[in-house]
Amino acid sequence: MRVYLPRDAAAKALGAEAVAEALLAEAARRGVALELIRTGTRGMIWLEPLAEVEIDGVRHGVGPMTPGDVPALFEGAAAHPKALGPVEALDWMKRQTRLTFARCGLIDPLSLADYEAHGGLAGLRRALGMTPAQIVEEVTESGLRGRGGAGFPTGIKWTTVLKAEAPQKYIVCNADEGDSGTFADRMLMEGDPFTLIEGMTIAGLGVGATKGYVYLRSEYPDAIEVMEAAVRLARDAGVLGADVLGSGRAFDMEIRVGAGAYVCGEETSLLNSLEGRRGIVRAKPPLPAIEGLFGRPTVVNNVISLATVPVIFEKGARFYADFGLGRSKGTIPLQIAGNVARGGLFETAFGMPLGRIVEEIAGGTASGRPVKAVQVGGPLGAYMHPAQFDTPFGYEEFDGQGGLIGHAGLVVFDDSADMLEMARFAMEFCAVESCGKCTPCRIGAVRGVETLDRVRQGDAAALGLLEDLCETMSAGSLCALGGFTPYPVMSALRHFPEEFGMAREAAE
């Protein structure tokens, strides 16, 4: 009997370890030879812990499981009260375009043989037959943009580092995933770590870097454990080291753990922390691509950006670029959270309307009440009103609506949400997480909390001050923490003026 069960942190939080123990105990009691394979999650978090039983080569899902559900599983998965049928045939899975997350939930994350059997290392082997310039051109042609929030074209960043002359260059993976409602980086590292390792290796070959670092937040102990084990396995197998897959070309990497400061998700703060310094923002220029880690040219890319590189090289740049909308090429892993009936990760091509994501994919609110707003892009993202739900999910399309995609986290709120309180939370969050380097962020966020408290008390005159303050923070902050905090504040004010004591006509 072969059963697949996630070891992903979300599944563990919902009781996967207790289910695993129950499975092993029940198999021993019955004398059944059980092969229990621990995987990543498929991304259907509302069904976790999701057990998958292989029947005639097809994996049938049963979930959400509890230890009490285990005995019935041995009587027959198809007849189990929580049977879901073939996992690949579930609507959530069928409607996706899984490229970056194709293996997540499917394979044993720490089996390199399993990884290769499902297409792993094909992209790296192709890249080893290309020149650095050809590698960078392939990424440029794919249209891949940074998935960490800024959406900057990956090919341009790589080109800059390739052309920079230096005795040492670096690849740094930003795995400091701190946005509320986001979990794609964690899910990828826990469920398919070798794809990140492969992507970083290809990046190193492309720009001439021989050393890489993954900067991982301390709040992700499971991801740290899996990534450290995967790096050791990759090094032992010759995927990393002085002779990558026998090519004579070198690339190696390490996992470094940060202390969990939100601002270290900003690339220059991250680099300072990685160097052992205080995690504060650096003024730019110089750009990290010219003077980055230890003053050397450095590619700083997000987990999903780098983990997408292998499929681009496996299937070709044009294959990847054929998905998407306008300048938003390829796929995006939507992380659906908040007050939703179905929360989880859904990878799809850019272009799906926001309303379809919220109503059809997420199933509306868990409370059953109407959707009031959706915050897209983390705590610094704008609140999107239902009137904007026809907006296609794309960088320029969201920008045109006064929003941003960020790391593609969506947090849904029903009509009981207090939008003035949510605006205050944005300012408070910025005040707490500010590195203190620049005045607009350090002082502006504190004044923002005070001003919103005045608005709560009925001081209408404070609204003009709030708008001026947001303009100053947006224009004068050194990084996106202070610069983007006005997005949730002003979008809440614009869409829900009556909650701030304003008439809607005045807000418009």
The model's pLDDT over 416-470, given as tens digits with 9 standing for 90+, comes to 999 999 999 999 999 999 999 999 999 999 999 999 999 999 998 899 999 999 9
Q: How do beta strands 211-217 and 252-258 pair? A: parallel
**Model confidence band, residue 15 (pLDDT cutoffs 50, 70, 90):** very high
- Is 506 a residue whose pLDDT tops 60? no
CA torsion, points 361, 367, 372, 378, in degrees to nearest 10? -60
- How far apart CA 419 and CA 151 sit, in angstroms, is 27
Report percent pLDDT > 70 for the chain.
Answer: 99
Q: What is the pLDDT of residues 129-156, one digit of tens each?
A: 999 999 999 999 999 999 887 789 999 9
If you ran DSSP here, which 8-state letter would residue 224 be given?
A: H
Nearest alpha carbon to residue 44 among 304, 307, 371, 340: 340
pLDDT at 467: 95
Q: What is the pLDDT of residues 325-381, one digit of tens each?
A: 999 999 999 999 999 999 999 999 999 999 999 999 999 999 999 999 999 999 999
pLDDT at 508: 54
Tokens of 155: 């090919």
Q: What is the pLDDT of residues 292-328, one digit of tens each?
A: 999 999 999 999 999 999 999 999 999 999 999 999 9
- How far apart CA 39 and CA 3 sit, in angstroms, is 10
* Residues in contact with 69: Cβ distance below 8 Å, sequence separation at least 6, in sequence order: 19, 62, 80, 81, 82
pLDDT at 502: 72
pLDDT at 50: 98
pLDDT at 259: 87
Count of beta carbons in the 10 Å neighbourhood of residue 462: 20
Strand positions, DSSP E, 147-245: 170-175, 211-217
- How far apart CA 273 and CA 238 sit, in angstroms, is 30
Average pLDDT over residues 43-66: 97
Biggest distance spanned by C-alpha atoms of the chain: 75
User: Which backbone phi and psi does 472 adopt, to 5 degrees?
Assistant: -65, -45
Amino acid of residue 223: A
- The residue behind tokens 């939930």 is 105
- Secondary element (H or E) of residue 166: none
CA 340-345-350 angle, to 5 degrees, is 105
pLDDT at 150: 78
- How far apart CA 408 and CA 308 sit, in angstroms, is 15
Beta bridge partners of 60: 53, 86
Q: What is the pLDDT of residues 392-410, one digit of tens each?
A: 999 999 999 999 999 999 9
- Is 28 a residue whose pLDDT tops 60? yes
Nearest alpha carbon to residue 380 among 405, 349, 351: 405
Nearest alpha carbon to residue 138 among 353, 312, 381, 377: 312
What average pLDDT does the structure give for the chain? Answer: 96
Report CA torsion sign: 102, 258, 282, 180.
positive
Beta bridge partners of 53: 3, 60
- Is 478 a residue whose pLDDT tops 90? yes
Q: Which domains does the chain have, with CATH numbers?
A: 2-95 (3.40.30), 127-322 (3.40.50.11540), 327-412 (3.10.20.600), 419-500 (1.20.1440.230)
**Model confidence band, residue 507 (pLDDT cutoffs 50, 70, 90):** low
Count of beta carbons in the 10 Å neighbourhood of residue 408: 26
CA torsion, points 9, 14, 20, 21, in degrees to nearest 10? 120
Q: What is the pLDDT of residues 159-190, one digit of tens each?
A: 999 999 999 999 999 999 988 899 999 999 99
